[in-house]
């Protein structure tokens, strides 16, 4: 008995194609970050902290990670001297997270590494193409997906 033929090319499956390209892009970004000594989760956290101090809860929301996962990330960043937490003087129950001078220096290395990787990854794109891609990626509904902070 012959197997039923499925119509369409593999590239017609947008979710699969996005996942396939995403894995390759992720590997390229991890490789670029390797020169900084930072994992992607640490680099992303520093990028958010680079915009200014933020509450630990707000940072958890920005990164779309469970607060307990963020604690582990921040513990590692603090032990490396890249970030620090302090109590909010207005509300002692809240922690404010801030990038350190060493974290800012590390962030400059991250930016340099990512700029080079993105130049290579998106060399065929115009600025307009990149703006369109950002817009379309924002439309992908990932709200129901459980975000995990893994290094797989």
Got the DSSP string for 81-137?
Answer: TSEEEEEETTEEEEEEEEE-HHHHHHHHHHHHHHHHHHHHHTTT--HHHHHHHHHHH
What is this structure's pTM?
0.79
Comparison of pLDDT for 91 and 151, the residue scoring more:
91
Task: Name the fold adopted by 39-119.
Answer: Arc Repressor Mutant, subunit A (1.10.10)
pLDDT tens track for 121-149: 999 999 999 999 999 999 988 776 655 54
Rounded average pLDDT over 27-33: 94
Rounded average pLDDT over 51-70: 94
Comparison of pLDDT for 105 and 91, the residue scoring more:
105
pLDDT of 152 > 50? The answer is no
pLDDT band at 87, cuts 50/70/90?
very high
pLDDT of 46 > 60? The answer is yes
Instruction: Give the distance, in angstroms, between the CA of residue 92 and the centroid of all CA atoms in the same chain.
Output: 29
Asked if residue 95 lies in contact with residue 59, where contact means CB atoms within 8 angstroms, the answer is no
Residues 109-119 as b/e (b if ≥16 CB within 10 A, e otherwise) read bbeebbeebbe
Sign of the torsion formed by the C-alpha atoms of 89, 92, 93 and 95: positive
The CA distance from 128 to 147, in Å, is 29
pLDDT, residue 150, reads 46
Asked if residue 100 lies in contact with residue 83, where contact means CB atoms within 8 angstroms, the answer is yes
Left if phi > 0, otherwise alpha if psi is -120 to 50, otherwise beta: which for 116?
alpha
């Amino acid at each position: 008995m012959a197997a039923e033929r499925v119509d369409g090319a593999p590239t017609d499956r947008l979710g699969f194609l996005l996942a396939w390209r995403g894995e390759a892009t992720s590997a390229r970004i991890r490789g670029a970050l390797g020169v900084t000594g930072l994992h992607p989760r640490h680099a992303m956290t520093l990028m958010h902290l680079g915009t200014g101090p933020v509450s630990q809860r707000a940072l958890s929301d920005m990164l779309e990670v469970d607060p307990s996962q963020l604690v582990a990330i921040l513990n590692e960043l603090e032990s490396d001297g890249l970030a620090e937490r302090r109590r909010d003087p207005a509300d002692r129950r809240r922690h404010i997270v801030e990038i350190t001078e060493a974290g800012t220096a590390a962030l400059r290395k991250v930016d340099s590494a990512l700029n080079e990787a993105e130049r290579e990854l998106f060399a065929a794109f115009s600025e307009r193409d990149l703006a369109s891609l950002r817009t379309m990626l924002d439309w992908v509904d990932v709200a129901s997906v459980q975000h995990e902070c893994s290094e797989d």
